[in-house]
């Protein structure tokens, strides 16, 4: 079974600084998808970034980028120029290529300080 | 931007009562999902639905749960006899293709008393 581990329950960063959130996963599949979701205090789940395992190039979305290390089964999220609105829970998630269910990590609570 | 709409946003029910949580997925999406998040815990998969039938379900999704797409727009989750431990945030999601990148709704907070 696939598992997703986020080893940092809480993190904080100063506004405008850069922060990296860690995620590791376990799978025997070679093709799969990885995601980072943001959950602000409103509790809505918002897709931040998506990576397809067969693509070597790291995905980027504006200030958000990932460091995908397939051999190490690592998928970290880097947030550059952190903003107060980035304060939220961040969930890493895994989905197998032929599956419909998404497996989430336990989340990292990020606080951006002014 | 298209949204997944969930109603109600908060529901309080007595233990043993039936509840129906409602979702309107994005209109051109074909895959539908329910997830739940017990307060302070991780988001857990319940069920996926495609082509008018359940495609996958988790061990959480036992006989007290059911899903239905009664018309072309709504997607519902029914809990037949609620238990205290069913108290959670329930998220509906939809996707155009079955390869992730879901759009989640804003959730229904279910409180069983």
Q: DSSP assignment of A39-80, as one string?
A: E-TT---EEEEEEETT--SPPEETTEEEEEETTTTEEEEEE-
- pLDDT 10s digits, A36-66: 999 998 888 899 999 999 988 999 999 999 9
Six token digits for residue B49: 């639905």
pLDDT of res. B74 = 92
Q: State how far residue B71 is from chain A, nearest Cα, in angstroms.
A: 22
| pLDDT exceeds cutoff 90 at A100 | no
Mean pLDDT, chain B, as a whole number? Answer: 92
- pLDDT 10s digits, B47-91: 999 988 999 999 999 999 999 998 878 999 999 999 999 999 999
Among residues of chain A, what percentage have pLDDT more than 70? Answer: 99
Q: State how far residue B106 is from chain A, nearest Cα, in angstroms.
A: 5
A16 lies within 8 A of chain B by CB: no
Nearest to B43 among A47, A99, A104 (CB): A104
Mutation target to probe the A interface, by most A beta carbons within 10 A, among B48, B100, B102, B111 is B100
Contact yes or no for B42 and A105 at CB 8 A: yes
| Rounded Cα–Cα distance for residues B99 and B91 (Å) | 18
Mutation target to probe the A interface, by most A beta carbons within 10 A, among B35, B36, B43 is B43
- Please count the CA atoms within 13 angstroms of the CA of B76 that sit on its side-chain side: 16
């Amino acid at each position: 079974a696939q598992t997703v581990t986020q080893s940092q329950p809480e993190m904080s960063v100063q506004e405008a600084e850069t922060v990296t959130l860690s995620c590791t996963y376990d799978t025997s599949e070679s093709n799969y998808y990885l995601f980072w979701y943001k959950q602000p205090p409103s509790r809505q789940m918002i897709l931040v970034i998506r990576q397809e395992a067969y693509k070597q190039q790291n995905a980027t979305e504006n200030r958000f980028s990932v460091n995908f290390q397939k051999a190490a089964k690592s998928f970290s999220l880097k947030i550059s120029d952190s903003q107060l609105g980035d304060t939220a829970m961040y969930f890493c998630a895994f989905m197998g290529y032929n599956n419909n269910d998404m497996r989430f990590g336990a989340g990292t609570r990020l606080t951006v300080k002014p | 931007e298209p949204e997944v709409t969930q109603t109600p946003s908060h529901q309080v029910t007595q233990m043993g009562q039936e509840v129906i949580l409602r979702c309107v997925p994005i209109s051109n999406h074909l895959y539908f999902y329910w997830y739940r998040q017990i307060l302070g815990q991780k988001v857990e998969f319940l069920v996926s639905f495609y082509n008018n039938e359940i495609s996958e379900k988790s061990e959480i999704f036992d006989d007290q749960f059911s899903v239905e797409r009664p018309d072309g727009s709504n997607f519902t989750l029914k809990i037949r006899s609620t238990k205290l431990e069913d108290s959670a945030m329930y998220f509906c999601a939809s996707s155009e293709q079955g390869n992730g990148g879901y759009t989640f709704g804003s959730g229904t907070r279910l409180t069983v008393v």
